[in-house]
């Protein structure tokens, strides 16, 4: 049975982008119709490579000449064709024409290229078509089923194809109260609310949805230290909201790749370090995957005494009350070993990561704030009293000097005696 499988073609043309659009293109009131058939079709057979090229390769109406086309580093020529034919066809073996083969973990990749190198006609020194080099790749899986249908070019740049597998970048940041920017200072008072934003940067990856699977707070960066306090547990249940706190996920999300939540700040008992580190296990699923008990973001509402999800149906949060969601017997605490079930790797793409934010520094306890305010008020009153004393002293001195001047300016009266 003849096998046909995946194809990837990336066409780099210098003559414009018209080739990428099979539909009519309108510009500036004038229009022209582009070819409705694909300019290039490749079939990867079991032992052969068949390349069919339209003579109107550039979609401009200027037909190319078959003699200007070659295939592979060895410059294999196309099959003979009539002048009336609309296409030029190549039929070569997968190992012919200098084609290269690469063996990957799950596929055989045959690589070559189609070259259009126009030459002047007769004695003319001008060209009316462009030089073009079209990379061609045929992928044959080393296991599994394959399709027998030919795949048309996708017309995307080579560097952005599925061959460039990127590692996902996870992050966790403290945010300002209005979520508009990252928090400048990591300092808090007890009773304040921390705003945290988890993100995943996917690059050219398929659309993904981010979840906070588990979060734990510790007084040091070591997430296995004691004491510790669990903030998120059971694959996305924000259990800190069960206690004397208003901690919750923010709904709706800013986007599927971002998840925001708040945590009422706390301090460990009998710990003089006055700082907390928060470590979260972040993971992703496909954006179109329906949330379930293993992939969710649930908050507890004290007013309704119930759990509610950021997205999905309410029943996915019912397991938060039971304390068991999806995997029985799983430890509630983050441990140093990797979680294979949560951090699966698919084709070298990291789908989960542990991210730490901190230290979150406490300036003092709530009672200390009252003492500081009282001390500040006493200092202000003392300063005002001192200022009043200085003012009264200056006023007394000025009044004394004024009286002396007044006395010095009075006329002197001498007695007059009449003679007898």
Q: Do 322 and 352 belong to one domain?
A: yes
- Domain annotation covers residue 29: yes
Give whole-number Cα distances, 83 to 51, 80, 265, in Å: 18, 10, 80
| pLDDT of amino acid 385 | 64
Instruction: Determine which of 32-36, 125-129, 295-299 has the lowest per-residue pLDDT on average.
Output: 32-36
Alpha carbon distance 113, 99 (integer Å): 8
Q: Tell me: do 291 and 322 sit in the same domain.
A: yes
Average pLDDT over residues 405-419: 51
Residue 2 forms part of a structural domain: no
For position 331, what pLDDT does the model report? 39
Q: Which of 66-70, 119-123, 205-209, 258-262 has the lowest mean pLDDT?
A: 119-123
Residue with tokens 């070591």: 222
Phi, psi for residue 317 in degrees, rounded to 5: -95, -5
298-323: per-residue pLDDT in tens?
999 999 999 999 999 999 999 998 88
Shared domain check, 196 and 83:
no
Mean pLDDT, the chain, integer: 75
Q: Per residue in 328-382, pLDDT tens? A: 434 344 333 333 333 333 333 348 899 999 899 887 644 444 444 444 555 556 6
The answer to the question of residue 43 being in a domain is yes
Q: Clarify whether residues 143 and 176 are in a common domain.
A: no
Mean pLDDT on 94-123 = 85
CATH code, 243: 2.60.40.4100
Single out the residue in 139, 160, 181 at which a domain terminates. 160
pLDDT in tens, 163-220: 334 578 899 999 999 999 999 989 998 889 999 999 998 776 788 999 999 999 999 9
Q: What is the 3-state secondary structure (H, E, C) of the chain?
A: CCCCCCEEECCEECCCCHHHCCCCEEECCEEECCCCCCCEEEEECCCEEEEEEECCCCCCCCCCCHHHEEECCCCECCCCCCCCCCEEEEEEECCCCCCEEEECCCEEEEEEEEEECCCCCCCCCCCCCCCEEEEEEEEEECCCCCCCCCECCCCCCHHHCCCCCCCCEEEEEEECCCCCCECCCCEECCCCEEEEEEEEECCCCCCEEEEEEEEEEECCCCCCCCCCEEEEECCCECHHHHCCCCCEECCCCCCCCEEEEEEECCCCCCCCCCEEEEEEEEEEEECCCCCCCCCCCEEEECCCCEEEECCCCHHHHCHHHHCCCCCCCCCCCCCCCCCCCCCCEECCEECEEEEEEEEEEECCCHHHHHHHHHHHHHHHHHHHHHHHHHHHHHHHHHHHHHHHHHHHCCCCCCCCCCCC
Q: How many CB atoms lie within 10 A of CB 224?
A: 14
**Based on the domain organization, do 333 and 238 belong to the same domain?**
yes
Task: Tell me, yes or no, whether 67 and 135 share the same domain.
Answer: yes
In a domain, 193, yes or no: yes
- Both 136 and 185 in one domain: the answer is no
pLDDT at 279 over 50: yes
| CATH at 75 | 2.60.40.3210
Same domain, 175 and 63: no
Confidence of residue 116 (pLDDT cuts 50, 70, 90): confident
Q: 57 lies in which domain range?
A: 7-160
* Strand-by-strand arrangement of the 40-44 sheet: 40-44, 48-54, 87-93
Over residues 17-25, the mean pLDDT reads 38
Q: Are residues 54 and 97 in the same domain?
A: yes
Specify the pairing of strand 69-71 against strand 107-116. antiparallel
* In a domain? residue 412: no
* One domain for residues 78 and 104: yes
Domain end call among 141, 160, 179: 160
Query: CB count, 10 Å around CB of 172?
Result: 21
Same-domain check for residues 125 and 213: no
d(CA 196, CA 200) in angstroms, rounded, equals 14
Residue ending a domain, among 126, 160, 194, is 160
First to last CA, the chain: 167
Shared domain for 250 and 132, answered yes or no, is no
Tell me whether the omega of the peptide bond preceding residue 252 falls within 30 degrees of 0, making it cis.
Answer: yes
**Structural domains of the chain, count:** 2
The pLDDT tens digits of the residues spanning 62-99 come to 888 888 899 999 999 999 878 788 899 999 988 899 88
216 domain-assigned: yes
| Residue 296 pLDDT > 90 | yes
Specify if 44 maps to a domain: yes
- Is residue 401, in this structure, part of any structural domain at all? no
């Amino acid at each position: 049975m003849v096998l046909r499988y995946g194809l990837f073609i990336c066409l780099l043309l210098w003559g414009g982008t018209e080739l990428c659009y099979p539909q009519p293109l309108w510009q500036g009131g004038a229009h022209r119709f582009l070819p409705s058939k694909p300019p290039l079709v490749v079939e990867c057979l079991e032992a052969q490579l068949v390349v069919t090229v339209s003579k109107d390769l550039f979609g401009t109406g200027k037909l190319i000449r078959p003699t200007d086309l070659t295939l592979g580093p060895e410059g294999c020529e196309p099959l003979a064709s009539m002048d009336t034919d609309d296409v030029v066809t190549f039929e070569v073996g997968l190992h012919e024409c200098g084609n290269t083969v690469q063996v990957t973990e799950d596929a055989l990749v045959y690589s070559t290229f189609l070259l259009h190198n126009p030459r002047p006609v007769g004695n003319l020194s001008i060209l009316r078509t462009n030089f073009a080099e079209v990379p061609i790749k045929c992928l044959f899986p080393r296991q599994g089923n394959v399709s027998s249908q030919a795949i048309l070019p996708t017309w995307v740049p080579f560097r952005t194809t599925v061959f460039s597998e990127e590692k996902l970048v996870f992050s966790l940041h403290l945010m300002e109260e209005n979520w508009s920017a990252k928090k400048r200072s990591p300092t808090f008072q007890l009773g304040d609310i921390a705003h945290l934003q988890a993100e995943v940067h996917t690059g050219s990856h398929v659309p993904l949805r981010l979840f906070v699977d588990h979060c734990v707070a510790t007084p040091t960066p070591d997430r296995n230290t004691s004491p510790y306090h669990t903030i998120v547990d059971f694959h996305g249940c924000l259990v800190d909201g069960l206690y004397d706190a208003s901690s919750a996920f923010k709904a709706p999300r800013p986007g599927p790749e971002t998840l925001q939540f708040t945590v009422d700040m706390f301090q460990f008992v009998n710990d003089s370090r006055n700082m907390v580190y928060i470590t979260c296990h972040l993971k992703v699923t496909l954006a179109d995957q329906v949330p379930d008990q293993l992939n969710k973001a649930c908050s507890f509402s004290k007013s309704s005494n119930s759990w509610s999800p950021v997205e999905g149906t309410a029943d996915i949060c019912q397991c938060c009350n039971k304390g068991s969601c999806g995997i029985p017997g799983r430890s509630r605490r983050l441990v140093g070993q990797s979680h294979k079930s949560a951090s699966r790797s698919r084709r070298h793409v990291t789908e989960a990561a542990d991210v730490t934010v901190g230290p979150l520094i406490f300036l003092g306890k709530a009672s200390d704030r009252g003492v500081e305010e009282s001390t500040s008020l006493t200092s202000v009153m003392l300063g005002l009293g001192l200022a009043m004393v200085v003012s009264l002293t200056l006023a007394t001195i000025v009044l004394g000097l004024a009286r002396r001047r007044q006395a010095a300016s009075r006329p002197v009266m001498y007695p007059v005696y009449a003679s007898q």
